[in-house]
Amino acid sequence: MRPIEPTAFQRGFGTLSEAERDEIRRIEAAPVQHFGPRRVVIRQNAQFGSAHIVAKGWLAEQKLLHDGRRQILNFRLPGEIVGLEGLAYSKAVFSIVTLTDVELVPVSREAFEHLQRRSPRLASIIFIRAFQTQVILREWELNLGRRDAFARLVHLLLELHRRLRDLGMAKQCRYGLPLTQEELADCLGLTPVYVNRMLKRAREEGLAHFEDRTIVFDDLDRMRQIAGFNAYYLQPDRDPERTTAPPPQ
Amino acid sequence: MRPIEPTAFQRGFGTLSEAERDEIRRIEAAPVQHFGPRRVVIRQNAQFGSAHIVAKGWLAEQKLLHDGRRQILNFRLPGEIVGLEGLAYSKAVFSIVTLTDVELVPVSREAFEHLQRRSPRLASIIFIRAFQTQVILREWELNLGRRDAFARLVHLLLELHRRLRDLGMAKQCRYGLPLTQEELADCLGLTPVYVNRMLKRAREEGLAHFEDRTIVFDDLDRMRQIAGFNAYYLQPDRDPERTTAPPPQ
DNA sequence: CGCTCCTTTGATTCTGGTCAAGGCATGTGG
DNA sequence: CCACATGCCTTGACCAGAATCAAAGGAGCG
């Protein structure tokens, strides 16, 4: 059962005309696809299929090296569209895998082209949203290139907290984190053993600890300070409606 | 003197209608801005001005940490548009700086909005191009997170070679690289001293060496092998024209 | 000539990787 | 219900890749 009420995908679209609402409904009308955890949705080097709206669950983008080393590039959460690179590339240059149970609404290239023709304004809003993804990738580059292991881990935990909170998926000081330490390591460019040591350090320093599979923050302020965390990059604050609206005339 | 003939910006637009050509001319008609090397075009945390088409020269995107450490996030070369994030963010989340003498054609938000209204198809092509930038950022994440210092350096040199060759700015086996070792280090998440050692190693192993300010490749094949370099990610092979064209009916 | 900036090299340190083993929970089949 | 396997977490001992510190050698320039 998909909710009748606004889906996460619709957040931030602003005021829509009736025709635009129809277009969104049309896109979201495709049958939901269910995936279990640790499944491949889009496989690196394989031919691109359709893009997908994330309706539920966590996904990760990842790239593999020939020897099997893995880098997780970004997380993708409900409301986002994954696989739009397929508009530019015929083969996937990175994989998209599920981390939890996931529900996806496929958006075929034809459906997206239809949207572009029928409502270029909506298409633009979707494209402009993709700039947030770009900005997150750049923050990850900074994290990987210039922060030490501890600050790197702390920064990642804070980023996820903020993103989940915006989706109503995190409490003030905790959230379920469906990652093994090995997967955390693959986000951070570290080894699982060292991630374990950094988590221990965070615990011992009274910053955060795990209970079951949820991370609990014990000193958010100090964590923000350690990581140099500034959430602005996660909150695009320019109204795409304004950008794409007809002129005031 | 800007060339009258197709600018790099126009590469890949495919067949254009007369109206679309007019729109491009209109955008490119703005007075060119000249910058010397090592100037800031867009400053992290400052209010966004306009986006810019790169007409000539090299730019870098970079992010700073509070203690002054720097990560270079990507290079921007002729034909690309920088600063489109300004459509989503009112303040810049990273800086854009020049590395060489640079010529930029400013594209104000108003001008871009005008383009979106008058030719949504062109706007879409520009947005879809931005996916190549995204993909490059992800390759950099992989580079920073999962390749060792030597492979990292080699990969960067190969990526630049390919990008420059596509622009006619590199020969088969050499190109001018306007970077200090310190700047290379800031691309690679390393220290200048260690970059120097890796360059020495590349030289001693007969892979590549510098002459003046140009890098000369002595064994491209072996370098590709060391870095696991696959240029596909630099060549979006899906025709945006097809994606955005009206239906065959 | 005397800056300054960049490159180069050596000596040393340390962050994070590697290797190895044990613990603990969950699950499964006999 | 127990024996065993599996996957993940944890810890210790040791190692190595990259950082740091320090100094000297060019090259360009006012």
Distance between alpha carbon B73 and the CA centroid of its chain, in Å? Answer: 10
Question: pLDDT tens digit string along A82-134?
Answer: 999 999 999 999 999 999 999 999 999 999 999 999 999 999 999 999 999 99
Token pair of A202 as six digits:
């965070």
Cβ within 8 Å of residue B35, ≥6 positions away? B41, B57, B98, B101, B102, B103, B104
Residue B196 Cβ < 7 Å to strand D: no
What pLDDT is stored for residue B244 in this prediction? Answer: 58
Q: Sign of dihedral through CA atoms A146, A237, A168, A115?
A: negative
- Which of A148, A84, A138, A139 shows the shortest CA–CA distance to A115? A84
| Dist. CA B205–CA A82, nearest whole Å | 42
pTM, two decimals, is 0.95
Report CB contact under 8 Å: B93, A117.
Answer: no
What pLDDT is stored for residue A241 in this prediction? Answer: 60
Percentage of the residues of chain A whose pLDDT score is greater than 90: 86
Our separate counts of H helices and E strands in chain B read 8, 11
| Dist. CA B160–CA B116, nearest whole Å | 31
Distance from CA of A37 to the nearest CA of B (A): 23
Report CB contact under 8 Å: A238, B129.
Answer: no
Residues 57-86 of B with CB under 8 A from A: 61, 63, 65-66, 69-71, 73-74, 84-86
Residue B176 Cβ < 7 Å to strand D: no
What pLDDT is stored for residue A240 in this prediction? Answer: 64
Disruptive mutation site among B48, B74, B82, B87 for chain A (greatest number of A CBs within 10 Å): B87
What pLDDT is stored for residue B83 in this prediction? Answer: 98
| Residues of chain B neighbouring A93 (CB-CB closer than 8 A) | 135, 138-139, 232-233
Over 50: is that where the pLDDT of A2 sits?
Answer: no
Question: pLDDT tens digit string along A159-186?
Answer: 999 999 999 999 999 999 999 999 999 9
Report CB contact under 8 Å: A85, B134.
Answer: yes
| Residues of chain A neighbouring B71 (CB-CB closer than 8 A) | 141-142, 145-146
| Mean pLDDT of the A46-57 span | 97
What pLDDT is stored for residue A39 in this prediction? Answer: 96
HEC readout, chain A: CCCCCCCHHHCCCCCCCHHHHHHHHHHHCCCCEEECCCCEEECCCCECCCEEEEEECCEEEEEECCCCCEEEEEEECCCCEECHHHHCCCECCCEEEECCCEEEEEECHHHHHHHHHHCHHHHHHHHHHHHHHHHHHHHHHHHHHHCCHHHHHHHHHHHHHHHHHHCCCCCCCEEECCCCHHHHHHHHCCCHHHHHHHHHHHHHCCCEEEECCEEEECCHHHHHHHHCCCHHHHCCCCCHHHHHCCCCC
Per-residue pLDDT of chain B (249 residues), as tens digits, is: 444 456 788 877 878 888 888 999 999 999 999 999 999 999 999 999 999 999 999 999 999 999 999 999 999 999 999 999 999 999 999 999 999 999 999 999 999 999 999 999 999 999 999 999 999 999 999 999 999 999 999 999 999 999 999 999 999 999 999 999 999 999 999 999 999 999 999 999 999 999 989 999 999 999 999 999 999 999 999 876 655 554 433
Instruction: Please check whether residue B66 is in contact with residue A228, taking contact to mean a CB–CB distance below 8 angstroms.
Output: yes
User: Using 50, 70 and 90 to split pLDDT, how confident is the model at A212?
Assistant: confident
Q: Which nucleotides of D are covered by protein (CB under 7 A)?
A: 7-13, 17-22
Report CB contact under 8 Å: A128, B87.
Answer: yes
Token pair of A228 as six digits:
């140099």
Token pair of B177 as six digits:
């690289």
Disruptive mutation site among B125, B126, B134, B239 for chain A (greatest number of A CBs within 10 Å): B134
What pLDDT is stored for residue A243 in this prediction? Answer: 55
Report CB contact under 8 Å: A66, B93.
Answer: no
Question: pLDDT tens digit string along A63-92?
Answer: 999 999 999 999 999 999 999 999 999 999
Over 70: is that where the pLDDT of A238 sits?
Answer: yes
List own/partner pairs for B187-191 with CB under 8 A and 24 or more apart.
B187/B72, B187/B156, B188/A145, B188/B143, B188/B144, B188/B149, B188/B152, B188/B153, B188/B156, B189/A144, B189/A145, B189/A146, B189/B71, B189/B144, B189/B152, B190/B149, B190/B152, B190/B153
Inter-CA distances, B241 with B139, B194, B202, Å: 26, 45, 42
| Dist. CA B161–CA B207, nearest whole Å | 14
Report CB contact under 8 Å: A140, B139.
Answer: no
Disruptive mutation site among A80, A87, A109, A113 for chain B (greatest number of B CBs within 10 Å): A87
3-state helix, strand, coil in chain B (%, to 5): 45, 20, 35
Question: pLDDT tens digit string along A192-208?
Answer: 999 999 999 999 999 99
Amino acid at B213: R
Residue B33, helix vs strand vs coil:
strand
CB of A182 within 8 Å of any CB in chain B?
Answer: no
HEC readout, B224-236: HHHHCCCHHHHCC
CB of A137 within 8 Å of any CB in chain B?
Answer: yes
Residue A193 Cβ < 7 Å to strand D: yes
Question: pLDDT tens digit string along A20-40?
Answer: 888 999 999 999 999 999 999
User: Using 50, 70 and 90 to split pLDDT, how confident is the model at A242?
Assistant: low
Mean pLDDT score of chain A, rounded to an integer? 93
Token pair of A142 as six digits:
């900074």
